[in-house]
Amino acid sequence: MIGVYIHIPFCVKKCNYCDFLSFPCQEELRGRYVDALVREIKNFNHNDMEVATVFFGGGTPSILSCDEIEKIMAALGEHLHLSNDAEITMECNPGTVNRNKLNRIRELGINRLSIGLQSCRDSELKLLGRIHDYEDFLECFWMARDVGFDNINVDIMSALPGQSVESYLDTLTNVVNIKPEHVSAYSLIIEENTPFYSIYGNDTSVESGNIAGSVGENSDNDNSQCPERNPKLNNYPSLPGEDDERRMYYLTEKVLGENGYHRYEISNYARDGYECRHNTTYWTGGEYVGFGLGASSYINNVRFRNEEDINKYISHIREKGVCERAEEIKLTEMDNIEEFMITGLRLMRGISKREFKSRFGKSIEYYYGEVLTSLINEGLIEEEGDGIRLTKYGIDVSNYVLGFFLFDKDYIK
């Protein structure tokens, strides 16, 4: 069983925080790209592998026309072995679909939508550079419900410029009131090569699911001295301070938990039975193949990534039928052990000691005995039966904890 990722790099307008491989484009280029993408799918030489999940990401996949989506879905159905109950997700932004398009998308076999909301406050959406307002989101959500989508994720963000604890609580409350099946909740990270970076600088102290950054390092900084907390341009609001960001972080689990969403991964919450199967493939070390510009794959212990220049991507497929790889890495056993720990511990259920030994031939203590003892004593991880997982405190500082499972640490055996 494998997962399939389809990268659609096009968007109406790039958001101020976005560092993904995406950009606006004309229809002519989009058409040539879709033709190349379809050919790449047709020439994939592992079509005997059953496909359990498909994920259309971007960019904004819902920007494609129905005919373009149909071409891609037809190629997937004809040239890959899709399981009968395959989870097929498409990311969707309000303002890029109408009722007829949503109905057609569903008829073509897409059975899960991931709708980008980010915030219920129009002022916050405007600062993010989103093309929609809250009413547009609601219209999109209820249209999706009306045409029959019964598995919908909503993306939200905290620690936004000018955001208060109260405005974030308003977003959480509004989201749970419409009852999506899944909620992804991320903290804003200021990335290089984005408009926000030129305004706010690089905030390395807080990352998604990591409210305090590296414990013991800059934990009591004076925010007035941090450039990332004070915008360089006076007409932009400041980012929330660390205390407010911490409150937002805890509110997420509290409000979602009280309304029937269990936290199954650091940044993801779902009603029972609606966990994202595609992303779980990544977190549990499953194999996946990526089609499209810059898409990554992991098959037969090899990780590789497609060409990131769109013109080269299209020309390579036209000339050779396949995309040239921008990067290819044969993973070592140490690489696989690191990834097993680091991705597995992102899940609330953690990792299995028996599975570790089955995969790698030695006990987890052989590699990480001293580290595990130290982290347990610090209250950052806990053991229960066969399982090892992050504690609540460990989740709060997950990036710090997960760093201890990299083999470049002197004290790891």
pLDDT at 413 over 70: no
Average pLDDT over residues 154-169: 97
Per residue in 267-287, pLDDT (tens digit) is 999 999 999 999 999 999 999
What is the C-alpha to C-alpha distance for residues 391 and 60, in angstroms, rounded to an integer? Answer: 36
CB-based burial label for 350 (10 Å; 0-12, 13-18, 19+): buried
Please report the pLDDT score of residue 49 as a whole number: 84
Q: Which residue pairs, CB below 8 angstroms and at least 24 apart, start in 388-392?
A: 388/345, 388/350, 388/351, 388/353, 388/364, 389/345, 389/347, 389/348, 389/349, 389/350, 389/351, 390/345, 390/348, 390/350
* pLDDT bucket at 214, cuts 50 / 70 / 90: very low
In this prediction, residue 178 carries a pLDDT of 98
Rounded CA-CA distance 29/39 in Å is: 15
pLDDT confidence of residue 205: 38
Cα 48 from chain centroid (whole Å):
28
In this prediction, residue 326 carries a pLDDT of: 87
pLDDT of residue 52: 97
Give the HSE-up count for residue 26: Cα atoms under 13 Å, Cβ half-sphere: 2
pLDDT at 233: 53
pLDDT above 70: residue 245: yes
Q: Hey, CA dihedral for 403, 195, 95, 142, is it positive or negative?
A: positive
Q: Residue 47: what pLDDT?
A: 64
pTM, 2 dp: 0.90
CB within 8 Å of 302: residues ≥ 6 apart: 328, 329, 330, 331
Average pLDDT, the chain: 90
- At a CB cut-off of 8 Å and minimum separation 6, what does 288 contact? 2, 3, 4, 5, 281, 282, 297, 298, 299
Nearest to 37 by CA among 334, 371, 290, 389: 290
Task: Assign 212 a pLDDT band (cuts: 50, 70, 90).
Answer: very low
**Contact (CB, 8 A) for 188 and 159:** yes
Hey, what domains does the chain have and what are their CATH numbers?
A: 2-283 (3.80.30.20), 353-405 (no CATH)
Q: Is the per-residue pLDDT at 203 higher than 90?
A: no
pLDDT of residue 208: 37
The percent of residues in the chain predicted with pLDDT above 90, rounded, is 82
Q: What is the average pLDDT across 208-228? A: 34
More confident site: 261 or 228: 261
Query: Above pLDDT 70, what percent of the chain?
Result: 90
Residue 310 has pLDDT above 90, yes or no: yes
Q: Mind listing the pLDDT tens digit for each residue in 125-157?
A: 999 999 999 999 999 999 999 999 999 999 999
Confidence of residue 213 (pLDDT cuts 50, 70, 90): very low
- What is residue 140's predicted lDDT score, i.e. its pLDDT? 98
Which of 5-19, 36-50, 175-189, 229-243 shows the lowest per-residue confidence on average (mean pLDDT)?
A: 229-243
Tens digit of each residue's pLDDT (9 = 90 or more) over 357-371: 999 999 999 999 999
> For position 235, what pLDDT does the model report?
77
